[in-house]
Amino acid sequence: MKEIVYNYRVEFGDCDPARIVWFPNFFRWIDAASRHFFVECGVPRWEETEKTLGIIGTPVVDTHAKFVKTATYGDTLQFHVSIPEWRGKSFVQRYRVMRGEDLIMECDEVRIFAARREDNPEQIRAVVAPDSIRKLCE
Amino acid sequence: MKEIVYNYRVEFGDCDPARIVWFPNFFRWIDAASRHFFVECGVPRWEETEKTLGIIGTPVVDTHAKFVKTATYGDTLQFHVSIPEWRGKSFVQRYRVMRGEDLIMECDEVRIFAARREDNPEQIRAVVAPDSIRKLCE
Amino acid sequence: MKEIVYNYRVEFGDCDPARIVWFPNFFRWIDAASRHFFVECGVPRWEETEKTLGIIGTPVVDTHAKFVKTATYGDTLQFHVSIPEWRGKSFVQRYRVMRGEDLIMECDEVRIFAARREDNPEQIRAVVAPDSIRKLCE
Amino acid sequence: MKEIVYNYRVEFGDCDPARIVWFPNFFRWIDAASRHFFVECGVPRWEETEKTLGIIGTPVVDTHAKFVKTATYGDTLQFHVSIPEWRGKSFVQRYRVMRGEDLIMECDEVRIFAARREDNPEQIRAVVAPDSIRKLCE
């Protein structure tokens, strides 16, 4: 199973008046880490896959996160990303966020491969993971 | 059980190139809705409770969200917030996010009442919910 | 000259470890206030104007902001928005941000009406403000 | 004059429905680049300078930005940061944001070194740049 690491240094503005990371920011970085995983695996950007495969992205349909230790600005975090499970039209993407030896947070997401609905392009629908993408990520 | 509604109108910049809300933004609004709940229940701002009760906020230790329908800019969302469960040093805060009749997403968080650690004020520890706060929120 | 007011209540997560609004957030709200101005003037959403007029939005090409007083969470801010100047392919959008009687910040932007370039739809070009839009905003 | 480069890769969620960077995000990265400049020059984090020098940060009092070319996700941007001018209680911090050879945006800020006001620690006041910090940054 492939594991890709995305690094992020926490900035002053990422922290709140309690001087710790404001938790919604973790999801910003998780989404960047998710994309980073696909980039590192060789998946083209969504704009291209929209043209070739109809795939416009991998929106999250379910996310479950545990916050174990706090982090603050100046910290460098390592997001360890993998896809431990492929389902029919969805997959689990997993993140373990470390600061060196310390576990900061962990998160399991269910994401889908999304295409535009033919009857209404503003709406999306889940499609089976294209083999070409899945092979790159396993 | 008290239920408070927080309203938010989705803005252009809240949406991503797929023209739907970029999901980390939901957690921005959920945190605002959480705070709004306490404000509406009459709980003072954390800066004051830090002085009177030692409480610096209610950080999230666990969050589980399901994204049911997409939203886009121009939509007005209603965040229905409640605290369905009080535990020893933590509590469950629940959000049902509606766009009129449509359920957009729902989220259950476990939060704690946090105080600074005496041996290291940069670290936080969970404390039992003060009665004065709990009574305001039930 | 039309003036529209956009209200925003500053949230905990909008503030940084110095316990004041992290300044990039002002630009989030200014962009929302800019959009709010057009909405209140009756201009349709950009998705519709893209179809009818080719206009995909009003990106900022120049912005100049002065930060006069700090704001913190719990504050309600009033963004007073107007368009004091129309130029050929651009216009000045002005914001005076008040907290009651206190001036918090002010900002003058130059924005354009943007259309996609025909030779490369990923690039944008400035177009003359459509009369139909300009009349709604004056 | 010292020049420090801060690198940032634009993420999917940094872009808006027009598929270009949502401009307030540039100010997020500029603030990170500002901080990065001080870190690279050897200035301690604000938490430490608050204890040793009373300095809690360098808030922006004036910013003027020009957006020259658009950027989108996948782009790597180089923020070239310098301090071209020291004034009594303020200084100019300059950013030239490049994507390789292309100028994307440029920004001149006036920032101050801020200390808490003695009569009201929630308010800040400008202080003369400490020699120890200035020497590190020239």
pLDDT digits (tens, 9 = 90+) for A70-127: 999 999 999 999 999 999 899 999 999 999 999 999 999 999 999 988 898 878 899 9
What pLDDT score was predicted for residue A45? Answer: 85
Residue with the bigger pLDDT between B112 and B120: it is B112
What pLDDT score was predicted for residue B31? Answer: 97
Q: Which chain B residue has its CA at the smallest distance from D11's CA? A: B16
Residues of chain D contacting residue C30, judged by C-beta atoms under 8 Å apart: 24
Span of A63-72, B97-106, B118-127, D126-135 with lowest mean pLDDT? B118-127
| Distance of residue B14 Cα from the nearest chain D Cα, in angstroms | 7
From the list B137, B132, B134, B79, the residue with the least C-alpha distance to B104 is B79
Residues of chain C contacting residue D62, judged by C-beta atoms under 8 Å apart: 64-67
Q: How many domains does chain B have?
A: 1
This complex has an ipTM of: 0.92
Number of C-alpha atoms within 13 angstroms, CB side, residue B112?
15
Measured distance CA(D67)–CA(C31) in Å, rounded: 15
Amino acid at the residue B93: Q
Q: Are B55 and B132 in contact (CB under 8 A)?
A: no
Q: What secondary structure, in 3-state letters, does D62-91 show?
A: EEEEEECCCCCCCCEEEEEEEEEEECCCEE
| Distance of residue C1 Cα from the nearest chain B Cα, in angstroms | 25
Structure tokens, B53: 């009760």
CA angle C114, C119, C122 (to 5 degrees): 55
Inter-chain contact C19–B47, Cβ cutoff 8 Å? yes
Sign for the pseudo-dihedral over CA of C64, C66, C67, C73: negative
What pLDDT score was predicted for residue B120? Answer: 86
Measured distance CA(C78)–CA(C6) in Å, rounded: 6
Tell me the average pLDDT of chain A.
94
Measured distance CA(A93)–CA(A107) in Å, rounded: 8
Predicted confidence band of residue A46 (pLDDT cuts 50, 70, 90): confident
Measured distance CA(C77)–CA(C67) in Å, rounded: 13
From the list D98, D106, D107, D105, the residue with the least C-alpha distance to D75 is D98
The average pLDDT across B10-38 equals: 95
| Distance of residue D71 Cα from the nearest chain C Cα, in angstroms | 9
Q: Residue B13 carries which DSSP code?
A: G
Predicted confidence band of residue C18 (pLDDT cuts 50, 70, 90): confident
DSSP A122-135: TSEEEEPPPHHHHH
From the list B138, B137, B128, the residue with the least C-alpha distance to B42 is B137
D13 vs A12, A31, A45: nearest CB: A31
Q: Residue D47 carries which DSSP code?
A: H
Q: Is D16 a catalytic residue?
A: yes
Q: Which residues of A are known to be catalytic?
A: 16
Measured distance CA(B31)–CA(B37) in Å, rounded: 10
pLDDT digits (tens, 9 = 90+) for D90-138: 999 999 999 999 999 999 999 999 998 889 877 889 999 999 999 999 9
> In the predicted model, is pLDDT for residue B9 greater than 90?
yes
Containing structural domain, residue A52: 4-137
Inter-chain contact B17–D22, Cβ cutoff 8 Å? no
Q: Return the CATH number at D63.
A: 3.10.129.10
Predicted confidence band of residue D40 (pLDDT cuts 50, 70, 90): very high
Inter-chain contact C18–D124, Cβ cutoff 8 Å? yes
3-state secondary structure of A50: helix
Which chains neighbour A (Cβ–Cβ under 8 Å, 3 or more pairs)? B, C, D
Measured distance CA(C6)–CA(C97) in Å, rounded: 9
Residues of chain D contacting residue A31, judged by C-beta atoms under 8 Å apart: 11-13
Chain C interface, Cβ < 8 Å to A: 12-13, 15-17, 19, 22, 24, 73
Inter-chain contact A28–D13, Cβ cutoff 8 Å? yes
Q: Which of B6, B10, B11 to mutate to test the interface with C (most CBs of C within 10 A)?
A: B11
Q: Which of A21, A55, A66, A95 to mutate to test the interface with B (most CBs of B within 10 A)?
A: A66
Measured distance CA(B56)–CA(B60) in Å, rounded: 13
Per the residue annotation, which of D16, D31, D62, D75 is the catalytic one? D16
3-state secondary structure of C75: coil
Strand partners, A127: A113
Chain D interface, Cβ < 8 Å to C: 16-20, 22-25, 27-28, 30-31, 46-47, 56-57, 59-67, 70, 72, 114, 122-124
The average pLDDT across C90-108 equals: 98
Measured distance CA(C26)–CA(C66) in Å, rounded: 11
Query: CA separation (Å) from A116 to A123, A125, B71, C37, D30?
Result: 6, 6, 14, 31, 35
D24 vs B13, B15, B24: nearest CB: B13
In total, the C-beta contacts within 8 angstroms joining chain A to chain D are 34
Query: CA separation (Å) from A29 to A81, A120, C61?
Result: 11, 30, 28
Amino acid at the residue D113: F
From the list C93, C96, C95, the residue with the least C-alpha distance to C113 is C93
**Residue with the two structure tokens 């090409």:** C61
Structure tokens, A107: 């998160």
Inter-chain contact A12–D35, Cβ cutoff 8 Å? yes
Inter-chain contact B72–A122, Cβ cutoff 8 Å? yes
B24 vs A20, A28, A57: nearest CB: A28
Q: Are C13 and C28 in contact (CB under 8 A)?
A: no
| Distance of residue C47 Cα from the nearest chain B Cα, in angstroms | 9
Polymer length of chain A? 138
Inter-chain contact A65–B63, Cβ cutoff 8 Å? yes
What pLDDT score was predicted for residue A22? Answer: 97
Q: Residue B15 carries which DSSP code?
A: B
Q: Which residues of B are known to be catalytic?
A: 16
Inter-chain contact B19–C74, Cβ cutoff 8 Å? no
Which chains neighbour C (Cβ–Cβ under 8 Å, 3 or more pairs)? A, B, D
Inter-chain contact D13–B22, Cβ cutoff 8 Å? yes
Inter-chain contact C63–D64, Cβ cutoff 8 Å? yes
Residue B32 neighbours by CB distance under 10 Å: 21
C74 vs B11, B45, B74: nearest CB: B45
